[in-house]
Each structure stands twice: as structure tokens, then as C-alpha cells.
Structure 1
Amino acid sequence: MFDLGLAFFAGVLFAEGIRYGVEATNTNEFCTSCHSMQISLKEYEESLHFKNVIGIQTNCADCHIPKSHISAITAKVFAVQELMAEMYGTIDTPEKFEARRWTLANQVWAKMKASDSQECRICHSILNMVLSEQFSLAARRHATAKEDGKTCIDCHKGVVHRKPKKSNAN
């Protein structure tokens, strides 16, 4: 009985450690602590996702980390490669980051496309949009997006971070 209780206690401690680790690494301070992320931080701070008329603000994790616990942990594990790229000098300068920006952006866009832009849909919903108050082209595209097989990221690349030029691809 003691072994079962000890195992349960160890399991709870392990789960809490994972939860704490995910929460601690979901802050903007953590996400932008690498030199290469200073470019992304500046772009974010100039975007409507940082400062806007209604005062709603997202953080890095809102858009880059899935909400389900297993997916979030998986994303954190794969994010280690970004840390390694910083440590090994692959993207540790603005010039190197810019040279890889197209590739990095396409990786993020592919993940968002695969998730049907769930990161966006946490805050944005076509069903709740007042299409009559949008520009006519935007209203038409939003109205037919689902039928056309489109998701947010298909049209809204470069909303928070500058859309890279294809010529920067490596």
C-alpha cells in the first residue's frame, strides 16, 4: 500500500512539474529571451494583437502553443530545436534569422493550416463577425471561407509578424 501511495504522490509531483514548466515557458518574457526573437517581439509590439482600441492583448503562446495539454507539451518538446538553433548559431543574428525567416514562417503556417487555424479561432469566429461592417472583399471571403476550404492563415499571413520575402528562403 505504501508503494502505491508513493507512486501516486510521485505521479502528482511529475504532472505538476510538467504543468508548471508549460506555464512558465508560455510567457512573452520567456519566448523572447533569445536574441533571434527580438525581431519577432518588435513586430508583435507594433501589431494590433499587442495594442488596439478595445484593449485585448494576446501573447506568444496564444498563437504558437496549442491549448490541449498533450499538444502543448509536444509543441514545447519540438521548440527545443529553436533553442538549439539559437545556441548553435543558426539564427543567432538578425541576418541569419532573416535568411531563415521564410522557412520558419512556412513551418508555422503549415501547423496553423493543419489545425484549421485553431489558434486564431480561440478569439476570432466567422460566425460572430458582422460581415456587413467589413470591406466587401473581406466580407465575401469570410462568408465563403468554409465552403472554399480556407482557414484564417490562408489569407492572414503577416498579420503579427512581417511576411517574409520568398527570396529569403534557404
Structure 2
Amino acid sequence: MKRSIVVIFLVGMALGGALLLGSLAAFEYTNTTEFCISCHEMEQTVYQEYLKSPHYKTPSGVTAGCPDCHVPRAWGPKIVRKIQATNELYQKFVTGSIATPELFEEKRLELAEHVWDYMDKTDSRECRACHNQSRMDFHKQSRRAQEKMEQGLLDGKTCIDCHKGIAHKKPREDD
């Protein structure tokens, strides 16, 4: 009797561990650029824009992928963001509201505004994970960039306030 309880316990622990590891692997896979562009709307639109952006084409070859800009690194905020992303999947697969590149373009501004609001609320946390203002050499920037960056810092602006459209086509806000 005791032996069968131990066996059941060990099998349960092994299955639980496998389930946990499988869930973590799936969770991490959803945190890749390959997963982000797995639907043709993203691959044909925003991904093509990203390939021409400074986040992909860099002199050093160091690039930022979709999760670097759109998913927090810290576990708690990452989970919250993943839950929010389920709404995006709902919009895509259930309602079909962005099921084609044309429908995506119709909603581009609304979608961008969600991202901009999120980045504003988090003080552009994902930007700051790579871009540290304390290590910026303003003297190596153009005069205009130097002035704008320094004034933005003084005014308490966050990255997205000035850098909308840095990785993707900026939607028209006046429509």
C-alpha cells in the first residue's frame, strides 16, 4: 500500500514537472520574433518595416527583436503583458478584425495608440532595457538630436513621446 502511494506520488511529480517544463518552453517560444510574425498579417506588414529600421539594421549587428520592445523582461510585468496579448490573439483569430493586411491597416492607428499608451505608462521600460540615458554620449549626437534629447530629459518625456515610428511605419494620427 505504502509503495503504491510512493509510486503514484513520484509519477505525479514527474508528470507535474513535465507539464511545468513544457509550459515554460511554450511560454518562452511565444517570446520570439518567429512566433510574433507567424501570422501573415504581421509578417507582411510590421515585420517588413522592422527589417528596414534601426532596430534591425545596425552598424554593430546587434538587433532588437519583437519581444525586446514589446515584452517586459521582469517576470511579473511579462505575465501581465502576455495576458494582455491574449486580447490581441482574440482580435485576430476570433473576431477577424485584423485578419488581413488591409484590415490591419484600418486598425493600425488604434493598435499603435495602445502600444504608445502602454510605453508611456511604463516610462518606455522596454526601450530603457537597452538604451541607458546615463551612458549616452550627447556630444556624439547631431546638434539637433543633442538639443532634443537634453530638452526631453528636462521635460520628463519618455522615449515614445518623440520616437513613434522608430521601428514601424507611423500611422497617420490626423485621420
**TM-score, length-normalised on structure 1?**
0.87
Aligned in 2, Cα 1:8/1:117: closer, same or farther, shift over 3 Å? farther
Residue 25 of structure 1 aligns with which residue? 30
Instruction: Give the count of matched residue pairs.
Output: 168
Residue 42 of structure 1 aligns with which residue? 48
Provide, for residues 1-32 of structure 1, a one-character-per-residue CA deviation record: whole Å limited to 9, x for no partner: 96998887777556534432221101111101
Residue 67 of structure 1 aligns with which residue? 73
Unaligned runs of 5+ in 2: none
Fraction of identical pairs, as percent: 39
Q: Please tell me the root mean square deviation across aligned C-alpha atoms, in Å.
A: 2.2
Residue 110 of structure 1 aligns with which residue? 117
Aligned in 2, Cα 1:146/1:7: closer, same or farther, shift over 3 Å? farther
Map 1:1-170; keep pairs closer than 5 Å: 15-38=20-43, 39-87=45-93, 88-168=95-175
Say which SS state the counterpart of residue 92 (structure 1) adopts.
coil
1: CA distance between counterparts of 2:127 and 2:24?
Answer: 23
Say which SS state the counterpart of residue 91 (structure 1) adopts.
coil
**TM-score, length-normalised on structure 2?**
0.84
